[in-house]
Amino acid sequence: MAKRVLVVEDNDLNRKLFCDVLKASGFSVEPCADGELAINAARAFDPDLVIMDIQLPNISGMELIGQLKRDMSLARIPVLAVTAYAGKGDEDRIRDVGAEGYLSKPVSIGPFMRVVMGLLEPKPAALVTAG
C-alpha cells in the first residue's frame, strides 16, 4: 500500500511540484491549499507524513504543527516543515514545536526526496532487556 502524504502549501506552483514529485515516486498525495483546513484534512486522510509550509495566510505553519502534535490521533505523524523565509534560529524554533524535518525553499528534488524517505523509514523498535 502506498504511503500517504498530506501537502499543506498555499503556493499553487510549490504545491503542484511537491504533489507531482511525490506521486511520481508512488505516494498517495492529498493537497491542502488552506492551512485552516489542514487539521481536518489530516484527520480525514490519515497521512503517514505531513509536508507543512510555514508561511501560510491566516494561520502559521508553526501553529499547525503544534496543533498536530497536541492531537493524540495525529501526534505520531512526522512533519516536514518547508519555508522560504529561513532566518537565524528558525529551524530550531520549528523543530521545537514538533517538526521532525526541515527544508528551506527553494527546494531541490533530490534533497526533498531524501528527507521524505528518511521520515517515512520505519523506526527501529526500542531494545527491551529482561532483568
Give dist(CA 81, CA 52) in Å, integer. Answer: 5
110-125 CB burial, b ≥16 within 10 A, e <16: eebeebbeebeeeeee
Q: How many CA atoms lie within 13 A of 22 on its CB side?
A: 26
Place of cell 491566516: 58
What integer pLDDT is reported at residue 131 of this predicted model?
44
In tens digits, the chain (131 residues) has pLDDT values of 899 999 999 999 999 999 999 999 999 999 999 999 999 999 999 999 999 999 999 999 999 999 999 999 999 999 999 998 767 788 899 999 999 999 999 999 999 999 999 999 876 655 555 54
90-109 CB burial, b ≥16 within 10 A, e <16: bbeebeebbbbbbbebebee
What integer pLDDT is reported at residue 78 of this predicted model?
97
Domains by residue range for the chain, with CATH:
4-120 (3.40.50.2300)
All three cell numbers of 67, joined, read 496543533
What integer pLDDT is reported at residue 50 of this predicted model?
98
What integer pLDDT is reported at residue 85 of this predicted model?
74
What integer pLDDT is reported at residue 110 of this predicted model?
95
Which pTM was predicted?
0.91
From 21, 25, 19, select the one nearest 6 (Cα to Cα).
19
What integer pLDDT is reported at residue 89 of this predicted model?
83
Across the strands, what pairs with 31? Answer: 7
What integer pLDDT is reported at residue 121 of this predicted model?
87
